[in-house]
Amino acid sequence: MSGSDYSRRDFIKTVALGAAGLALPANFIDAAAKHKYNILFIMSDDHAYQAISCYDNKLINTPNIDRIAREGCRFINSFCTNSICGPSRAVLLTGKYSHKNGFIDNTSSFDGQQVTFPKILQKNGYQTAVIGKWHLKSDPTGFNFWSILPGQGDYYNPDFIEMGNRIKINGYVTDLIADKSIGWLKERDNSKPFCLLMHNKAPHRNWLPSLKYISLFEDKEFPIPSTYFDDYKTRSLAAPESEMSVSRNMSMDYDLKVDLKKDEVTDPTRERIMGDYWEGIYARMTEDERKEWDKVYKKRSEEYRALKLKGADLDKWKYQQYMKDYLRCVVSVDENVGKVLNYLDENNLANNTLVIYTSDQGFYLGEHGWFDKRFMYEQSLRMPLLMRLPGVIKPHTDNENMVMNLDFAPTFLDYAGVNAPKEMQGSSLRPVLEQNIFAKTRDAIYYHYFEFPAVHMVKRHYGIRTKKYKLIHFYYNIDAWELYDLEKDPDELNNVYGNAEYKSITENLKKKLYSLQKKYDDVDYKKYLPKQTFKISHKGIGLAYTLANAPAPKYNGNITDGMVYPEGELYNVPFKGWLGVQEKDFILEMDTSTVNPVSEIKIGFLQATESWIFMPRYITLYASYDGTNFEKVKTIRNNIPDRQSGPFKKTYTFDMKNKNVKKIRITAKSIGKCPPWHEGAGGKAWIFTDELIIE
């Protein structure tokens, strides 16, 4: 299905979708004859400002994205409130910090009933659409038309959920999103202003380029960041204990596309393999696509084997492969930005359309040895932000005001001639864009990151950034402060917190930090901490057990450690608290002859479908009363649908009727492969198990 295969009737008939039942105060609806500009908001995923040539031309040339800066405004100090995909999108929609809109991390689900700028625009006569990555779990509301990628989405031949219907479309995801966006623009009602959110998946991990650019940069050597081998010697434990190192945490197959087998691994600390994840992605390609793919990446695998690199040399080689694939994805993004800008030109829309290009946050391209984002350090905190509106925004201007993604929603409403609701915590950028000398500007920005323990293991932290300094507080399983003098130390290598010469500066920054927390109503951050595990005394603690199918080394928790993790919680403690088995059944056998009589047996399982973790199909308990022969006690069928989003835990209980039991055997039937509707369809699914309790 092409981007233009839906009809005008399909989206006109849903004009009130998402706004139904939402009672917006009258002052949000402006029927006055104010000029209402069209809005085209283009957001890519994890697009680092370092990979846009109007910000930095050392890595790549992006002429189409640069055109927006040349014909409009480039923001130099644009920042996010919470550097992670889903929360950033929730901030965009609501104009509120994560703790106010309820989407604090990627385990959350967006409450679509709350006020968002698309709903307000709808009430004021706009047609609204979102096309591409959504990543908020709940369905979009406030849009006349929506066609979104499920979860993270796929690069090749992706599925889209279009107005509730799931469809698979052949092609490359970045091209498809642009084509569908242009298709919607062609089919819209020309008598009404529009707001289109065009959300790219690229260049999100794992950086799969279009076949059109699959050989680009093949012989290019990219400059390695000066901080690539950062030793973190002045920092707290937050940096060295994170898990987003190009050297240690980037996988050979999934990330770097090297076909490395387990028996070939000679350095487990640098040769990580994630075969199951890669297999599911590779399976989405057509046979012809796989042939083209193999021509390029087979050569990379052969090169890796021939070079036999070790240590720092291997780390440098990894960086080069990372950059080639990441930047190949960026080339497609830039090409499709040009395609959409050309459509505006060709259809006399450019002069009346506010065009915005940004990313959902920043990204590390090897700085401090990292990939990914999350930290409040500069490369993930700082976002690219370009805006163009001919005749209104002066071309080729740089703006050094401190702005945030918190400001997007109020800005869009301002250009639509509508007042923003008081609950929105950002400010319209229109005054500073139009160079109003009386415009109020920030002297500091506030940041708060919540997702820990979780993937990449970046600790929870909040902080403040001014033009000269950055103060960060890491908390939860740590209590550590870091202070950086950005004028003297722009690379943030020297933590000066506690230095006598910075005492008064630190005190003033803390006062300003606390005032911003009060302003944004984030004074009780402890209420967002995960529920703590609790100890329980039961007869099974310390009993030896055997597993028929070995758990993954990273998820090899002790099934009888006496620690119980609450219902509804996934990341209560680092992964060592769980036991994970991939694709195969969970089968445990234990000698219980010393703990009789037994009244009941409980065991907990986890479901987190976005992490490829599913409840077992059923759980069966067998008991041996003579130590040799087993008989079935009971089978409990799982009644939780696979599609039900998590993360959440369910505990299953077996009544043993105070019998003397010499051995027990528990079998939990795995789903095996991810189902067809899942983004990892065909990939290996997990069973995650919590404490086995014997009473």
Tell me the C-alpha distance between 167 and 169, whole Å.
6
pLDDT, position 524: 84
C-alpha distances out from residue 195 to 6, 63, 129, 406, 532, Å = 18, 24, 6, 18, 43
pLDDT above 90 covers a percentage of the chain that reads: 74
Number of domains in the chain: 4
pLDDT, position 25: 43
Q: Is the pLDDT of residue 544 over 90?
A: no
pLDDT greater at residue 542 or residue 74: 74
Whether residue 309 is contained in a domain is answered as yes
Tell me the C-alpha distance between 650 and 637, whole Å.
12
What is the band of 531 on the pLDDT scale with cuts at 50, 70, 90? low
pLDDT, position 11: 31
How does the average pLDDT of the chain come out, rounded? 90
Mean pLDDT in residue range 542-570? 77
Tell me the C-alpha distance between 53 and 333, whole Å.
13
Q: Is the pLDDT of residue 574 over 50?
A: no
Evaluate the omega torsion of the peptide bond into residue 597 and state whether it is cis, within 30 degrees of 0: yes
What is the band of 564 on the pLDDT scale with cuts at 50, 70, 90? confident
Half-sphere exposure at residue 131, Cβ-oriented, CA atoms within 13 angstroms: 26
Using DSSP bridges, classify how beta strands 194-199 and 127-133 pair: parallel, antiparallel or unpaired. Answer: parallel
| Cross-sheet strand order for the sheet of 145-149 | 165-168, 159-162, 145-149, 127-133, 194-199, 38-44, 353-359, 385-388, 73-79, 397-404
pLDDT above 70 covers a percentage of the chain that reads: 91
Mean pLDDT in residue range 359-381? 98
Tell me the C-alpha distance between 149 and 63, whole Å.
27
C-alpha distances out from residue 637 to 485, 570, 668, 672, Å = 59, 22, 10, 16
Token pair of 43 as six digits? 């957001």
Tell me which of 481, 511, 528 is where a domain ends: 528
Q: Is the pLDDT of residue 30 over 60?
A: no
Q: Are residues 135 and 230 in the same domain?
A: no
In the chain the first and final C-alpha atoms are separated, in Å, by 57
Tell me the whole-structure pTM to 2 decimals: 0.81
Q: Are residues 192 and 72 in the same domain?
A: yes
Other C-beta atoms lying within 10 Å of the C-beta of residue 650: 18
What is the identity of the amino acid at 473? H
Q: Is the pLDDT of residue 177 over 70?
A: yes
Whether residue 607 is contained in a domain is answered as yes
Q: Are residues 492 and 560 in the same domain?
A: no
Q: Are residues 406 and 271 in the same domain?
A: no
Q: Are residues 167 and 316 in the same domain?
A: no
Tell me which of 273, 296, 322 is where a domain ends: 322
pLDDT, position 17: 34
What CATH code is carried by the domain that includes residue 682? 2.60.120.1190
Question: What single string gives the DSSP state of each residue in 445-504?
Answer: EEEEE---SSTT-PPPEEEEE-SSEEEEEE-SS--EEEEEETTT-TT-----TT-GGGHH
pLDDT, position 34: 67
What is the band of 268 on the pLDDT scale with cuts at 50, 70, 90? confident
Q: Is the pLDDT of residue 684 over 80?
A: yes
Determine the structural domain holding residue 621 and report its residue range: 534-694
Q: Is the pLDDT of residue 7 over 50?
A: no
Question: What single string gives the DSSP state of each residue in 395-426?
Answer: SSEEEEEEEEGGGHHHHHHHHTT-PPPTT--S
Whether residue 30 is contained in a domain is answered as no
Q: Which residue has the tokens 């990580």?
A: 272
Q: Is the pLDDT of residue 20 over 70?
A: no
pLDDT, position 171: 97
Contacts for 288 with CB less than 8 Å, ≥ 6 apart: none
pLDDT, position 577: 64
Show the 3-state SS of 538-582.
CCCCCCCEEECCCCCHHHECCCCCCEECCCCCCCCCCHHHCEEEE
Tell me which of 501, 528, 555 is where a domain ends: 528
Whether residue 450 is contained in a domain is answered as no
Q: What is the per-residue pLDDT across 291-334, written as a single tens digit (0 to 9) for each? A: 999 999 999 999 999 999 999 999 999 999 999 999 999 999 99
Q: Is the pLDDT of residue 565 over 50?
A: yes
pLDDT greater at residue 567 or residue 609: 609
Tell me the C-alpha distance between 134 and 103, whole Å.
13
| Cross-sheet strand order for the sheet of 686-694 | 579-582, 686-694, 598-607, 648-659
- Beta strand segments in 259-352, E: none
Whether residue 451 is contained in a domain is answered as no
Whether residue 163 is contained in a domain is answered as yes
Q: Are residues 540 and 626 in the same domain?
A: yes
CA torsion through residues 505, 508, 512, 513, sign = positive
What backbone phi and psi angles, to 5 degrees, belong to 599? -90, -40
pLDDT greater at residue 477 or residue 224: 224
Contact present, 125 and 36 (Cβ < 8 Å):
yes
Evaluate the omega torsion of the peptide bond into residue 158 and state whether it is cis, within 30 degrees of 0: no
Q: DSSP character for 667?
A: E
Q: Are residues 435 and 386 in the same domain?
A: yes
pLDDT, position 200: 98
Q: DSSP character for 327?
A: H
Least confident of 16-30, 74-88, 242-256, 578-592: 16-30
Tell me the C-alpha distance between 374 and 526, whole Å.
19
Least confident of 359-373, 588-602, 677-691: 677-691
What is the band of 33 on the pLDDT scale with cuts at 50, 70, 90? very low
User: Residue 535 pairs with which residues in a beta bridge?
Assistant: 563
Q: Are residues 425 and 304 in the same domain?
A: no
Q: What is the per-residue pLDDT across 577-610, written as a single tens digit (0 to 9) for each? A: 678 899 999 999 999 999 999 999 999 888 888 7
Mean pLDDT in residue range 359-375? 98
Whether residue 449 is contained in a domain is answered as no
Mean pLDDT in residue range 524-546? 78
Other C-beta atoms lying within 10 Å of the C-beta of residue 458: 27
What is the band of 277 on the pLDDT scale with cuts at 50, 70, 90? low
Q: Is the pLDDT of residue 280 over 80?
A: no
What is the band of 70 on the pLDDT scale with cuts at 50, 70, 90? very high
Distance of CA 56 to the CA centre of its chain: 24
Mean pLDDT in residue range 211-230? 97
Q: Is the pLDDT of residue 444 over 60?
A: yes
Q: Are residues 177 and 79 in the same domain?
A: yes
Q: What is the per-residue pLDDT across 621-664, written as a single tens digit (0 to 9) for each? A: 999 999 999 999 999 998 888 877 666 788 899 999 999 999 99
Q: DSSP character for 222?
A: P
User: Residue 356 pairs with which residues in a beta bridge?
Assistant: 41, 387
C-alpha distances out from residue 647 to 17, 108, 113, 331, 571, Å = 28, 9, 21, 35, 9
Whether residue 453 is contained in a domain is answered as no
Q: Are residues 173 and 56 in the same domain?
A: yes
- Beta strand segments in 227-364, E: 353-359
pLDDT, position 536: 80
What CATH code is carried by the domain that includes residue 503? 3.30.1120
Q: Are residues 688 and 544 in the same domain?
A: yes
Q: Are residues 568 and 427 in the same domain?
A: no
Contacts for 204 with CB less than 8 Å, ≥ 6 apart: 45, 46, 85, 133, 152
pLDDT, position 542: 84
What is the band of 569 on the pLDDT scale with cuts at 50, 70, 90? very low
Q: Virtual CA dihedral for 242, 243, 246, 252, nearest 10 degrees?
A: 170
Contacts for 505 with CB less than 8 Å, ≥ 6 apart: 469, 483
